[in-house]
Amino acid sequence: MARPAPRTPVLLFGFLVLYILLQSAWWMWLLLSKDRDILSLQQQLVLEGIVPHLPIRSPKHMLMMVVGEGVVFLVLLLLALWITFRTLRHELSLARQQRDFLMATSHELRTPIAALKLHLQTLQRPNLDPELRDTLSRSARSDVDRLHGLAEQILLASRLEEHAAPPQLAPTDVAKESRNLIDQARSSYGRDHRIEAKLPEELNLITDASSYRSILGNLLENACKYAPQGTTVQVELAVVGHAVHLRVRDSGPGIPDEDRQRMFGKFYRGGSEETRNAKGTGLGLFIVRRLLEDLGGRVEYRPVHPHGSTFTAIFPHRS
């Protein structure tokens, strides 16, 4: 089962708010009660002639004063509590995302490292069949590439967050780049899917070639990761008005409504790390969004009926 989100800090915060409100109401009632006692005593002293005259404030005046000051105090207090609550909720969410990221990264590292160790141990055996040796060597290189890709993802996310990776704009044939990436995907993470491409013969765009490859690679890998095996992943590249649209469509489960506000955030992954089966670190969509923002573009998401997702990366078509 998925581990429930920590509720103790939120409950304690709720009890604290309730206590403060009850305490404020108590003090307001106490002040009004004391004022009524003082007013009664003043009136008694005047009536008995003990004092000739006392300036007596009306109960309504005292009530307005206490209520007015109390309302101002409560408004300021509730504002401070609301800010504190939002900060607490953000910290809890960030802690959960970081925990999930560490769990996902640990799994992503452990699997290729274990496979690489096994391959190397097998390669050390004497009189190993040459064909098996070649197969193990290719598998070992694939594991190394996977580790390298993971490290690059983490480093790129860090540079983007610190704005330390400005784009290097240059004329780029994005149709050719797309074909190359799709061919690579068909022989690696997309081998269990049908990847259909609708691309022009040539489409020159002034953009950062490395950023474009990272954007398409992340969207394509994300689609293959969550779509069932044997389903079709569609890639389309076209000029729309003054922009270039890169669409990647899959037949996966889609993204729940409650997650769509944060799906482009850092470390976001749907569900719980303890229950999900898909690989990943939760950095792919974050990287896509930040790279497009640096290029002056944006990314859009649309659900596909009855199930599936369409991500559209929109690049400004500079002349």
Question: With the C-alpha atoms ordered 154, 140, 186, 304, is the resulting torsion angle positive or negative?
Answer: negative
Q: Examine the domain organization and report whether 92 and 202 are in the same domain.
A: no
Residues 16 and 37 in one domain: yes
Which of 79, 96, 113 represents a domain boundary (last residue)? 96
Q: What is the CATH number of the domain that holds 133?
A: 1.10.287
**Per the domain annotation, does 45 fall within a domain?**
yes
Q: Kindly state the average pLDDT of the residues 61-72.
A: 72
Q: Do residues 21 and 41 both lie within one domain?
A: yes
Residues 196 and 130 in one domain: no
Q: Residue 3 domain-assigned?
A: no
Confidence band for 1, pLDDT divided at 50, 70 and 90 = very low
Give the span between the Cα atoms of 319 and 316, in whole angstroms. 9
**Res 5: pLDDT:** 47
In a domain, 86, yes or no: yes
Residue 41 lies in a domain: yes
Q: Regarding predicted confidence, which is higher, 104 or 228?
A: 228
Give phi and psi for 269, each to the nearest 5: -145, 130
Q: Where does the pLDDT of residue 178 fall: very low under 50, low under 70, confident under 90, or very high at 90 and above?
A: very high
Range of weakest confidence among 129-143, 145-159, 211-225: 145-159
Calculate the average pLDDT of the chain: 81
Q: If DSSP codes are grouped into helix, strand and coil, which group holds residue 192?
A: coil
* Domain boundary residue, one of 161, 180, 210: 161
For residue 235, being part of any structural domain is answered with yes
Domain presence at residue 279? yes
Q: What is the rounded (10 degree) CA torsion for 96, 100, 291, 149?
A: 160
What's the token pair of residue 270? 């749907």
Indicate the pLDDT class of residue 4, thresholds 50, 70 and 90: very low
Host domain of residue 136: 101-161
Q: Where are the beta strands (DSSP E) in the chain?
A: 170-173, 194-198, 204-207, 232-240, 243-250, 298-303, 309-316
My answer on whether 134 and 37 are in the same domain is no
Q: Is 255 in the same domain as 275?
A: yes
Give the side-chain half-sphere CA count within 13 A for 118. 10
> What is the per-residue pLDDT across 278-297, written as a single tens digit (0 to 9) for each?
566 778 898 999 999 999 99
Instruction: Give me the CATH number covering residue 202.
Output: 3.30.565.10
Number of domains in the chain: 3
In the 3-class helix/strand/coil scheme, how is 25-91 assigned residue by residue? HHHHHHHHHHHHHHHHHHHHHHHCCCCCCCCCCCHHHHHHHHHHHHHHHHHHHHHHHHHHHHHHHHH
Domain final residue, candidates 96, 131, 153: 96
> In terms of domains, do 141 and 243 share one?
no
Q: Are 231 and 251 in contact (CB under 8 A)?
A: yes
AA letter at 289: R
Q: Do residues 245 and 207 share a domain?
A: yes
Q: In this structure, what DSSP letter does residue 318 have? A: -
Does one domain contain both 115 and 36? no
Asked if 268 and 225 sit in the same domain, the reply is yes
Indicate whether 201 and 307 sit together in one domain: yes
- Which helix H or strand E contains 178, and what residues bound it? helix 174-186
User: Does 180 fall in a domain?
Assistant: yes
Q: Would 223 be classed as within a structural domain?
A: yes
Pairing of strands 232-240, 194-198: parallel
Q: Are residues 119 and 226 in the same domain?
A: no
